Each structure stands twice: as structure tokens, then as C-alpha cells.
């Protein structure tokens, strides 16, 4: 139990508003429930959520200690009352989630509980698959990340062994990642291989394509094939053979077919005509190739997983059956 004495500067606030500020990790739904069942008392008695606090009042909060910790990324899952996940596949070792554009994988320097990892950890904790108090060091973790404005499949490991294996497989490029993108114009030829060098300007968070090796530039290789074209747009599948920052966006722009909605590497004038503000790029398919032993994940060998839908593929090309692409 924690106790708060209401001071002059706290007086006049609603009960629920004050508790929300005093205990930022407590989910809103749980806060309201605790008020209803009188686990939050005002001067020793139950009170309504809209009760105004007065100077000298005493609040007793019968709430678990972990909710009083200082908010940080490691405990942000506590704030998630109802996890929001688009699950593609799940078993005892891994979780594949379709991350929607606009969602952060991890917090970007400031505390943010509405991240993919916070929702995954809350989901597992609420199911009882992960018990933080019983763990010395492990927490469910993401094995790959996708940019905020890009959607697609993210892999989460449910245990330390799966995390180790998946990190090794991703490092050794034993997991194939396929992307869909809507691009300006028609790629010529319709399929092929883009191979050049990318130089990253960390200060601007932008990469530049170089046709020849330069100091600081890294090899970038992407295979692509045009699925269909309609009007001024083409739907293209890309397979990454290297994993550089903004690789597909920069290479396709350099190739003369910038991504629809890409404000950094695309055409502002072209994008404005479609009203798109985020790049039309989606990591829509994963294949666990596993040419070498995969230990406890051996059962995933050669399995392929695909998201149910990609908005821009359906909106501009009428493509709804992604498994048939």
C-alpha cells in the first residue's frame, strides 16, 4: 500500500486524474477498476472517480509495487491494459507479428508504452507465458526491426534459446525477407538485381547510392520483380540479399522508380497527387530457409509466413491474395 497526502498544488484535481499522474504505469482501465472495487481509498473510504481532492486529504492505494516504479522501456508493458497485436503465427518459442505502419518497434529515446515490444511483453505476461518476477535476465525480445513508417512481419523470441538461434540465423542470412512496394513508373527490365554501394549520413539519417566503392560505403544487393503495373504505378516484390539502412527506398529511387509516398527519396510532387505521406513498403513474407541446423527451431525449416493483407497492394492494384503472388 502506498499513501499520498494531498498538498495545496494537488488540490482541486479529480481523483482519477491525480492517480493517473502519480502512478503513470497503471493502465487506465485498471485504474478505473481499482477505484470501483475500492482498492483506491480517499480518507479511508471508497470514492467516485470524479471526486475533487482537497488539501489535507489522504489517498491510500492498494496497488502492486511494480506499478510505482519509474517508467522506462523495460517496464512499459505494465501500462498496456489490452495488447494490440496482429499475430501471423505463434508457438511456444516464437511470435510473428504484422507491425502496422506508424508503430514503433522500440521507444525512440523517450518513454513510450505504445510500442510493439511493450504490447508483445504485455501479451505474454497476461497469458502467463512470461513471469518477469521469476526471470533473472530474460525478457521477450524482437529479433528484427522495421522502420516506423514501414509495415511488416517482426519476429519475437519467447525464450533465450530461441532468441540466440534466431539472432544467429538472421546474422547468417538464413531467413529470407520479401518486401512489397508500390513504385513510380515501370521498372525496366521488369525483374533483375540492383547491386551498388550505400553510404549512410548518420546526422541526416539518409543514405546515398554510389556506383563505385568508396570509403564508408557498403555493398547493397536487392533482387526485384514486377508483379503488375496500373497507371503510373507498379507493384514490385523485393528480396534483400543485404540489410542496409533504407536499402530498398534508396536503391529503387536511384533506379528511377522511387517508392510511392516516400518523402525522403521519392518525388514530393508525385506523392502529393496520391495523397500518400508514408512510403508504400511492406515486409510481407518471411521464409525460414535454415540451410544449417536450427536446434529447437528445426520444425520451422522451409516454412513460409505471409501477412493477410497490404493496404496499398489492394488499394492501387486490387491484390488481395498475397500467397499467390
Whether 247 contacts 198, CB under 8 Å: yes
Check residue 224 and give its pLDDT: 98
Q: What three-state secondary structure class fits 216?
A: coil
Between CA 267 and CA 257 the distance in angstroms is 10
Q: Tell me the average pLDDT of the chain.
A: 96
**Dihedrals phi, psi of 257, to nearest 5 degrees:** -130, 70
> CA-CA distance, 135 to 194, in Å (whole number)?
45
Given pLDDT bands bounded at 50, 70 and 90, which one contains residue 53?
Answer: very high
- Count other C-beta atoms under 10 Å from residue 242's C-beta: 13
Q: Which domains does the chain have, with CATH numbers?
A: 2-68 (3.10.290.10), 73-171 (3.30.2350.10), 175-324 (3.30.2350.10)
pLDDT at 45: 96
CA 259-201-260 angle, to 5 degrees, is 10
Grade residue 202 by pLDDT with cuts at 50, 70 and 90: confident
Chain-centroid distance, C-alpha 165: 21
- Extract the C-alpha cell encoding 311: 493496404
pLDDT digits (tens, 9 = 90+) for 158-195: 999 999 999 999 999 999 999 999 999 999 999 999 99
Amino acid at each position: 500500500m502506498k499513501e499520498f497526502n494531498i498538498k495545496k498544488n494537488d488540490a482541486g484535481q479529480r481523483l482519477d486524474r491525480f492517480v493517473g499522474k502519480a502512478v503513470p504505469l497503471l493502465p487506465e482501465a485498471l485504474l478505473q477498476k481499482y477505484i470501483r472495487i475500492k482498492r483506491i481509498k480517499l480518507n479511508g473510504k471508497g470514492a467516485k472517480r470524479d471526486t475533487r481532492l482537497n488539501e489535507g486529504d489522504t489517498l491510500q492505494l492498494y496497488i502492486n509495487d511494480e506499478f510505482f516504479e519509474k517508467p522506462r522501456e523495460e517496464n512499459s508493458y505494465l501500462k498496456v491494459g489490452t495488447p494490440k497485436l496482429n499475430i501471423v503465427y505463434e508457438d511456444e518459442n516464437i511470435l510473428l507479428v504484422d507491425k502496422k505502419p506508424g508503430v514503433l518497434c522500440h521507444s525512440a529515446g523517450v518513454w513510450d508504452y505504445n510500442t510493439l515490444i511493450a504490447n508483445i511483453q504485455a501479451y505474454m505476461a497476461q497469458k502467463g507465458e512470461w513471469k518477469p518476477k521469476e526471470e533473472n535476465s530474460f525478457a521477450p525480445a524482437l529479433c528484427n526491426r522495421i522502420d516506423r513508417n514501414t509495415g511488416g512481419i517482426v519476429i519475437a523470441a519467447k525464450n533465450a534459446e530461441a532468441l540466440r538461434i534466431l539472432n544467429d540465423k538472421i546474422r547468417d542470412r538464413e531467413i529470407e525477407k520479401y518486401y512489397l512496394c508500390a513504385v513510380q513508373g515501370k521498372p525496366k527490365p521488369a525483374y533483375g538485381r540492383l547491386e551498388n554501394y550505400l553510404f549512410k549520413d548518420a546526422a541526416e539519417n539518409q543514405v546515398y547510392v554510389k556506383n563505385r566503392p568508396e570509403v564508408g560505403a557498403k555493398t547493397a544487393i536487392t533482387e526485384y520483380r514486377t508483379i503488375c503495373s496500373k497507371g503510373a504505378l507498379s507493384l514490385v516484390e523485393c528480396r534483400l540479399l543485404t540489410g542496409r539502412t533504407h536499402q530498398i527506398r534508396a536503391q529503387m529511387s536511384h533506379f528511377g522508380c522511387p517508392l510511392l509516398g516516400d518523402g525522403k527519396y521519392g518525388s514530393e510532387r508525385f506523392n502529393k497527387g496520391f495523397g500518400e505521406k508514408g512510403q508504400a513498403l511492406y515486409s510481407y513474407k518471411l521464409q525460414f530457409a535454415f540451410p544449417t541446423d536450427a536446434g529447437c527451431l528445426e520444425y520451422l525449416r522451409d516454412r513460409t509466413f505471409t501477412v493477410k493483407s497490404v493496404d496499398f497492394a489492394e488499394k492501387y492494384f486490387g491484390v488481395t491474395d498475397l500467397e499467390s503472388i
